[in-house]
Amino acid sequence: MNGWTAKDIPSQAGRVVVITGANSGVGYESAVALAGKGAQVIMASRSIDKAQRAQQELLQDVPTAKVDLMRLDLSDLRSVRAFAEEFNASYARLDILMNNAGIMIPPYGKTTDGFEIQFGTNHLGHFALTGLLLPKLLITPAARIVTVSSSAYMMGGQINFGDLQSEQRYDAWGAYSQSKLANLLFMMELQRKLERTDANVISVASHPGYAATNLQKYTENGGFLQQLGMGILKPILSQNAELGATYQLYAATAANVRGGEFYGPRFVMRGEVVKVALNARARDAEAAARLWAVSEQLTGVRYEVLQTVVA
């Protein structure tokens, strides 16, 4: 991709973008970049106070930015539905849905709806949000859905359908890896369904490498060895949030991006944008279809608009 950076983003004038978790980290940097190119950006955040502070900071950098704030708590399906209802009533189009927000290796906890917090927030919340916003995406020419995963998806095994909510055993890294694998299986299955219905929307994914953001707050508060490892590796391997946002911005805006593709840094942790090969587990169509069915059952969100296959 020849050293592509956010400066290479084409004009986004007239386009509408939703970014989850846009008040900090790579989500915030994505909002800055897209607003700077003329997009109407909706910063979706669990905390409106934090989002307001982020908006003020963004407007200092980009005084002409068009930025709206909307509350979205992905760990609460009622909040997801309320957000979608408000957005669908307020906006006539949706060009880019950036499923960016996430939580990483927290102590065991559950969402409002009783799901393990990482699986529930990182996957199920975005699954429900995408389904509820899909009608708006489908009426917008050349819309894109960008799901932000992690290279950590390779650390675990397959989706543990026998214990999706980690009630029998909880391993923070294992649950995180599962949620990030779920992101990719969702991305791929959504692309298959979009293709079967001849939709003018693509589903793609990215990962930020090792971007130094608030996402690592639990890793940095871990045991002695974990803290030692982070202290040694972070300065060497990490990059700032602005660079970490490059990969999802490429997936969202570059002209040559195709559905089902996965973008990240050349050297896993950092580096220029490259198309990343998915491993066999992320390409498992049977597991993806099973996860989709379970996700519909758990969230109550069914992608009915994709049920009719175009002959």
Catalogue the active-site residues. Answer: 176
Query: Rounded distance, CA 114 to CA 136, Å?
Result: 29
CB 205 within 8 A of CB 262: yes
- Three-state SS annotation for 263-284: EEECCCCCCCEEECCCCCCCCC
CB atoms within 10 A of CB 195: 15
The alpha-helical segments, DSSP class H, found in the chain are 25-36, 48-61, 77-90, 117-118, 126-138, 172-196, 224-237, 241-244, 246-253, 285-299
CB atoms within 10 A of CB 162: 6
CB 247 within 8 A of CB 271: no
| Cα atoms in the 13 Å half-sphere on the side-chain side of 56 | 5
CB 113 within 8 A of CB 297: no
